[in-house]
Amino acid sequence: MDFQQQARPEEGIYMEGILYGVGVGAGDPEMLSLKAARILRQADIVCIPRAHKASCRAYQIAVQAVPEIAGKEALCFDFAMTEDNRLLQETHGRFYQTLRPVLAAGKSAAFLTIGDPAIYSTFSCIAALAQADGHSVRTVSGITSFCAAAAACGIDLCSGHEELHIIPGRRKSIQESLRYPGTKVIMKSGRNISTIKEALLQLEQAGSVSVYAVQDCGLPEEKILSGAQAIPDDGYMTTIIVKAAEQVSPPATRP
């Protein structure tokens, strides 16, 4: 599918806009895909899911890979970090009202997301609104934080018959989820981090798991951590990989 086949709108003619969800990967700007870089160069405006460019990690990653986006029109919006579904929907609706005239004018907008737009991203909510409104929506995949974290640790995530489970750390039943066979990845631990850390310490002491964690993956301040005790108490940008003990072979050197 060649995005370039999309004709550009001519002056005065209404054309349907396109909303792109662009995954910028896990932190290293070089992890953007060739397609993500092209779409960012071509897009008319860039949607930034923070109040300011400066505080938006996804933008800071993207602008290093594609400096041209600094000169583009930017739609900054402060998405409330909340667990309240009604409040979330209201916020998404308010953001969409600012995006709507852009798409109605036949422009293309690139909505930046860390990692991949299909995994715990605000993009899918915005995409549903745009689509219900008759606009085209396209997802440009990105490298997930768990793939990048595994690469940083020099380990694999799964092989052969092993399962891989991606678990949001704020899930209440986290202890239950840690019983799944194979590898567990815990993402977005946030306020639940102390419960998770305690559960992992117990599993580690029982000799049943090996714990790896990467904080600020791919960024200059990246930290690679080994063992549950090393997991920082602010879990926001930390990806935790829990391997069943029988899975673990000596890790490869740090990339």
Q: Which residues bind its own copies (CB under 8 A)?
A: 1, 23, 25-26, 28-35, 37-38, 65, 116-121, 123-125, 127-128, 131-132, 136-144, 147-148, 150-151, 154-168, 170-172, 177, 180, 249-250, 252-253, 255
CB of 11 to its own copies, least distance (A): 26
- Nearer Cβ to its own copies (1/54): 1
Indicate the DSSP class of residue 251.
P
Report CA dihedral (58, 115, 234, 153) to the nearest 10 degrees: -120
- Nearer Cβ to its own copies (205/248): 248
CB of 165 to its own copies, least distance (A): 5
CB of 34 to its own copies, least distance (A): 5
Half-sphere exposure (CA, 13 Å, Cβ side) for 204?
16
Radius of gyration, CA atoms only, the chain = 20
Indicate the DSSP class of residue 37.
H
Contacts of 26 (CB under 8 A, 6+ apart): 114, 115, 143, 144, 145, 147, 148, 149, 217, 218
- Nearer Cβ to its own copies (246/249): 249
- Nearer Cβ to its own copies (122/238): 122
Which residue from 238, 231, 211, 221 is spatially nearest to 28, judged by alpha carbons? Answer: 221
CB of 246 to its own copies, least distance (A): 13
